[in-house]
């Protein structure tokens, strides 16, 4: 096949793959994605940073590599492979690429080397040099410095800093699940790109928020942050102006939230839905933003994106067989996995439900939310269909929840 590389700096090319039609990744809905790889030409050696997924993506990678070598008027010979992270979306094509360039050196973190063999069982005969923060790879006129980045977002993750140009190859960190025809974040509206980056952070990176804060401090103390002129992640758009995404990550990882409340509910016969609408009215009456999701049709990945920068949530589900309506369960597991409390954000939660007689949903939802790091602010339990008194109580609960989070 034929596919073009994109030059992003002198001797540096994007050679990744476009996955236009994928709609689900890591269990959440996406509008396509990219598997970004980068070819760096030094005077003496050429390095490929990261690799691609399956489903024919390797053909795109090979075609773009050939195009980059042709543009540089160099022999098609890769000398160095650097694998920043070994999850399958970045490494399925690696062994085939190594076999194509058998004399190349292979670098990964210690965990990365271990994970490659445990995932593929074909790397026992591949010599992998393990690297950590402080190590560097000299390509001749181009120096690639290694920065260990465990849990951003796997234990094997690491960054590569191209010192002379200030390009940070960050793998999953700072990425977005987008598949667009232009390569830079700045080619599109800032709001659009940052929203995609926030969704990526909320669903993939938030668990590593404590590590991210430590890494930011480490890189700042070492003077590396001020040297970064471009961030080239492994998914989505490249940041020519890193300041915007660095600031956003710093805020998200530090629990900076808006005067916003995310309302999430499910319903059988619309009684719980009616409570949700009245709670929203109470929230809005205090000038606080309300965002509403119904789990019959909305995706968990969208819900948690709004929860990330909300100061509180209101969560509702009817009682079914003495437990919460089951469809809310996937969201509860999702919240427990993500651990928003790790961002240092203390999020209040209002739990509400409609029951027929014995109830039981609220107690279970309370326990699950507390386990996921939320603080229970209040509850509201209605019997069968709400009447005007219950509507008034729901409205007031929304008012009180809003007041509890409003900025001074």
Tell me, what's the pLDDT at 141? 94
Please tell me the distance from the alpha carbon of residue 354 to that of residue 295, in angstroms, as a whole number: 16
pTM value surpassing 0.75 = yes
The token duo for 61 is 């990678």
Tell me, what's the pLDDT at 219? 87
Report the chain's mean pLDDT, rounded to a whole number: 95
Sole residue written with tokens 């339990």: 381
The token duo for 87 is 């999850």
DSSP of 309-375:
TEEEEEEE--EETTEE-GGGHHHHHHHHHH-GGGGT---EEEEEEEESSS--HHHHHHHHHHHTTPE
pLDDT digits (tens, 9 = 90+) for 138-148: 999 999 999 99
pLDDT of 347 over the 90 cut: yes
Please tell me the distance from the alpha carbon of residue 232 to that of residue 161, in angstroms, as a whole number: 10
Beta pairing class for 348-355 and 375-383 = parallel
DSSP at 225: G
Torsion region of 321: left, alpha or beta (phi above 0 gives left; psi -120 to 50 gives alpha): left
pLDDT digits (tens, 9 = 90+) for 58-89: 999 999 999 999 999 999 999 999 999 999 99
pLDDT digits (tens, 9 = 90+) for 348-390: 999 999 998 888 899 999 999 999 999 999 999 999 999 999 9
Query: 297-333 burial string, b = 16+ CB within 10 Å, else e?
Result: eebbbbbbbbbbbbbbbbbbbbbbeeebbeebbebbe
pLDDT of 407 over the 80 cut: no
pLDDT of 29 over the 90 cut: no
pLDDT digits (tens, 9 = 90+) for 252-294: 999 999 999 999 999 999 999 999 999 999 999 999 999 999 9
Tell me, what's the pLDDT at 294? 97
Whole-angstrom CA distances from 286 to 55, 264, 283, 402, 404 are 51, 19, 6, 6, 11
Torsion region of 35: left, alpha or beta (phi above 0 gives left; psi -120 to 50 gives alpha): beta
Reduced to 3 states (helix: H, G, I; strand: E, B; else coil), residue 80 is strand
pLDDT of 400 over the 60 cut: yes
> Confidence band (pLDDT; 50, 70, 90) for 167?
very high
């Amino acid at each position: 096949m034929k596919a073009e590389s994109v030059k992003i700096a002198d001797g540096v090319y994007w050679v990744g793959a476009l996955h236009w039609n994928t709609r689900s990744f890591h269990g959440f809905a996406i509008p396509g994605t990219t598997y970004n790889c980068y070819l760096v030409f030094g005077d003496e050696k050429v390095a490929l940073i990261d690799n691609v997924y399956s489903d024919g993506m390797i053909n795109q990678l090979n075609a773009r590599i050939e195009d980059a070598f042709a543009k540089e008027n160099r022999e098609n010979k890769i000398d160095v492979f650097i694998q920043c992270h070994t999850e399958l979306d970045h490494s399925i094509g690696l062994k085939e690429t190594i076999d194509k360039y058998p004399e190349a050196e292979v670098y990964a973190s210690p965990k990365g080397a271990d994970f490659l063999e445990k995932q593929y069982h074909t790397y026992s005969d591949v010599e992998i040099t393990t690297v950590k923060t402080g190590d560097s790879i000299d390509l001749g006129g181009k120096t690639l410095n290694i920065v260990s980045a465990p849990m951003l977002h796997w234990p094997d993750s690491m960054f590569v800093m191209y010192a002379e140009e200030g390009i940070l190859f960050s793998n999953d960190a700072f990425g977005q699940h987008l598949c667009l025809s232009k390569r830079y974040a700045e080619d599109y509206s800032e709001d659009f790109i940052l929203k995609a980056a926030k969704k990526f952070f909320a669903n993939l990176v938030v668990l590593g928020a404590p590590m991210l804060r430590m890494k930011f401090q480490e890189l700042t103390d070492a003077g590396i942050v001020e040297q970064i002129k471009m961030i080239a992640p492994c998914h989505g758009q490249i940041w020519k102006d890193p300041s915007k995404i660095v600031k956003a990550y710093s805020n998200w990882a530090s629990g900076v939230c808006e005067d916003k409340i995310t309302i999430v509910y499910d319903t059988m016969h619309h009684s719980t839905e009616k409570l949700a609408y009245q709670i929203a009215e109470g929230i809005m009456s205090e000038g606080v933003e309300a965002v509403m999701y119904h789990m019959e049709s909305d995706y968990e990945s969208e819900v948690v994106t709004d929860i990330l920068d909300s100061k509180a949530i209101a969560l509702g589900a009817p009682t079914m067989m003495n437990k919460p309506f089951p469809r809310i369960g996937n969201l509860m597991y999702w919240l427990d996995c993500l651990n928003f409390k790790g961002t240092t954000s203390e999020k209040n939660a209002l739990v509400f439900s409609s029951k027929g007689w014995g109830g039981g949903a609220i107690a279970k939802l309370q326990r699950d939310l507390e386990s996921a790091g939320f603080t229970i602010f209040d509850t509201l339990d209605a019997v069968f269909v709400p009447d005007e008194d219950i509507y008034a109580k729901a409205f007031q609960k929304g008012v009180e929840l809003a007041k509890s989070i409003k900025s001074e």
